[in-house]
């Protein structure tokens, strides 16, 4: 009888990855320390070139976080007071935070119950309501590629083009994803990335980037991330912000990019194992080409079923996450903005329901099939 304890399963495992690239990391970090170029060093430029090449887009601009990427993109469009910015109610706070910081009004849209991405029929309905009321100008749509699944960008682009609105891709959870072989970063006016440590490509702190096909936008992003600088450090052309990507984080990301394609394939393989071991147990995410699998999120029948599942996984030593326990329009910070966005705002039933039904299982490139089988066994036992 084998009484050896089973190895712990991590929700995200950065140590396994680090062990593969530790020598490269040490060398890259040592080079930055020796050079003393901690801000906008050559590693930042190298990373931007590699990000653009990977995504197949024209330009990449490194910034200090995914939130700052969203803010810089909206600042560049002049989005502010009197503007309506349409975004899903079921996503992370940063997506809604930025419009409010700039004085704009977030208009929350419901999401699709199967994909969890923005419901485009609901988006069009809310655009029409804003237009009919005439108090706000429809200015932008922020589509979120939630949990790694690309949103329907061709359709979002068409809606934005018809209404002369800016399309912004919040791909914080989905870098590496694609639609028909075309990587995220090639859609919308700009794509915002986060390099938070648990993302598909993560650094060891905060970091982000903007991807765009537009050279003029890229130049403006570079100015805005550095206090609105012009041709020199003390030429200030516009109001900007301190939104630069640290050289050390760029050096770390360069090492991780060497593994990125392999890790994306591994994430897809892990999703396939989950599908095999959990088939018929709970509602599973659809496996589609181009899914980046930033998170693996299942859906339970209701809040009570999720609570039972949480307790069972805790007892089995299986980690999990709940993204997100409250829809944005119910958050105290956004309740007033939501109430004032549309006079008779339609309800957001899917977003409200999902917050009580979904939970995320361990997902990273270094899970083995035996790990997935253990997780699945605990899920099946509680289902």
Q: Structure tokens of 210? A: 């903007």
Q: Are residues 152 and 192 in the same domain?
A: yes
Q: For position 1, what pLDDT does the model report? A: 44
Coil/strand/helix, residue 305: helix
Q: Any idea how long the chain is?
A: 383
Half-sphere exposure at residue 14, Cβ-oriented, CA atoms within 13 angstroms: 13
Tokens 């949480």 appear where?
A: 310
Q: Are residues 50 and 194 in the same domain?
A: yes
Residue ranges making up the domain that contains 335 = 259-382
Q: Are residues 223 and 283 in the same domain?
A: no
Q: Are residues 235 and 96 in the same domain?
A: yes
Q: Are residues 243 and 274 in the same domain?
A: no
The reply to whether 102 falls in a domain is yes
Q: Are residues 311 and 325 in the same domain?
A: yes
The reply to whether 130 falls in a domain is yes
The reply to whether 7 falls in a domain is no
Residue 115, domain CATH: 3.40.640.10
N-terminal to C-terminal alpha carbon distance within the chain: 29
Q: For position 286, what pLDDT does the model report? A: 97
Q: For position 236, what pLDDT does the model report? A: 87
Sorted by sequence, the CB contacts under 8 Å of residue 311 that are 6+ apart come out as 382
* Phi, psi for residue 103 in degrees, rounded to 5: 90, 0
The reply to whether 2 falls in a domain is no
The reply to whether 8 falls in a domain is no
Q: Are residues 291 and 374 in the same domain?
A: yes
The reply to whether 320 falls in a domain is yes
For residue 191, what is the enclosing H or E element?
A: strand 190-194
Residue 373, domain CATH: 3.90.1150.10
Q: What does R_g of the chain's alpha carbons equal in angstroms?
A: 21
Query: Of 217, 235, 255, which marks where a domain is finished?
Result: 255
The C-alpha atoms of residue 120 and residue 277 are separated, in whole angstroms, by: 32
The reply to whether 3 falls in a domain is no
Q: Are residues 201 and 285 in the same domain?
A: no
Q: Do the beta carbons of residue 329 and residue 89 sit within 8 Å?
A: yes
Q: For position 243, what pLDDT does the model report? A: 97
The C-alpha atoms of residue 177 and residue 60 are separated, in whole angstroms, by: 16
The C-alpha atoms of residue 58 and residue 69 are separated, in whole angstroms, by: 17
Q: Are residues 156 and 177 in the same domain?
A: yes
CA 346 to chain centre: 26
pTM for the predicted model, two decimal places: 0.96
**Using H for helix, E for strand and C for coil, what is the string for 347-374?**
CCHHHHHHHHHEEEECCCCCCCHHHHHH
The reply to whether 9 falls in a domain is no
The C-alpha atoms of residue 151 and residue 153 are separated, in whole angstroms, by: 6
Query: Of 204, 220, 255, which marks where a domain is finished?
Result: 255
Tokens 């970091």 appear where?
A: 207
**Using H for helix, E for strand and C for coil, what is the string for 66-110?**
HHHHHHHHHHHCCCCCCEEEEEECCCCCHHHHHHHHCCCEEEEEC
Q: Are residues 218 and 78 in the same domain?
A: yes
Q: Are residues 267 and 165 in the same domain?
A: no
Q: Are residues 240 and 372 in the same domain?
A: no
Tokens 């089995």 appear where?
A: 316
CA 172 to chain centre: 2
Query: Of 255, 277, 311, which marks where a domain is finished?
Result: 255
CA 178 to chain centre: 14
Number of domains in the chain: 2
List per-residue pLDDT tens for the chain, 383 residues long. Answer: 455 678 899 999 999 999 999 999 999 999 999 999 999 999 999 999 999 999 999 999 999 999 999 999 999 999 999 999 999 999 999 999 999 999 999 999 999 999 999 999 999 999 999 999 999 999 999 999 999 999 999 999 999 999 999 999 999 999 999 999 999 999 999 999 999 999 999 999 999 999 999 999 999 999 999 999 998 888 989 999 999 999 999 999 999 999 999 999 999 999 999 999 999 999 999 999 999 999 999 999 999 999 999 999 999 999 999 999 999 999 999 999 999 999 988 999 999 999 999 999 999 999 999 999 999 999 999 99
């Amino acid at each position: 009888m084998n009484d050896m304890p089973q190895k712990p399963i991590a929700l995200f495992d950065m140590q396994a990855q680090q062990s593969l690239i530790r020598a490269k990391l040490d060398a890259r970090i040592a080079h930055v320390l020796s050079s003393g170029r901690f801000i906008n060093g050559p590693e930042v430029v190298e990373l931007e070139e590699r990000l653009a090449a990977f995504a197949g887009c024209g330009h990449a601009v490194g910034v200090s976080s995914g939130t700052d990427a969203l803010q810089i993109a909206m600042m560049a469009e002049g989005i502010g007071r009197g503007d309506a910015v349409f975004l899903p109610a079921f996503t992370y706070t940063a997506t809604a935070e930025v419009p409010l910081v700039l004085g704009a009004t977030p208009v929350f849209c419901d999401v699709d119950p199967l994909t969890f991405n923005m419901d485009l029929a609901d988006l069009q309905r809310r655009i029409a309501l804003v237009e009919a009321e005439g108090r706000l100008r429809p200015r932008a749509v922020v589509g979120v590629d939630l949990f790694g699944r690309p949103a329907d960008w061709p359709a979002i682009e068409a809606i934005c083009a018809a209404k002369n609105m800016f399309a912004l891709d919040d791909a914080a959870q989905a870098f590496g994803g694609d639609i028909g072989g075309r990587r995220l970063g090639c859609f919308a006016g700009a794509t915002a990335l986060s390099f938070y440590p648990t993302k598909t490509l993560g650094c060891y702190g905060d970091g982000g980037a903007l991807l765009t096909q537009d050279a003029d936008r890229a130049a403006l992003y570079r100015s805005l991330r550095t206090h609105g600088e012009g041709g020199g450090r003390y030429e200030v052309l516009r109001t900007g912000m301190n939104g630069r990507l640290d050289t050390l984080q760029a050096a770390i990301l360069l090492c991780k990019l060497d593994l990125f394609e392999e890790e994306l394939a591994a994430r897809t393989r892990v999703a396939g194992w989950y599908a095999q071991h959990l088939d018929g147990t709970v509602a599973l995410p659809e496996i589609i080409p181009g899914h980046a699998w930033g998170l693996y999120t299942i859906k339970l029948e209701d809040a009570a079923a999720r609570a039972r599942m949480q307790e069972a996984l805790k007892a089995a030593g299986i980690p999990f996450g709940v993204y997100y326990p409250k829809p944005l329009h119910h958050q105290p910070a956004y309740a007033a903005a939501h109430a004032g966005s549309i006079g008779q705002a339609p309800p957001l039933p899917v977003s409200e329901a999902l917050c009580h039904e979904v939970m995320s299982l361990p997902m990273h490139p270094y899970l083995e099939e035996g790990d997935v089988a253990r997780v699945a066994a605990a899920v099946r036992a509680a289902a």
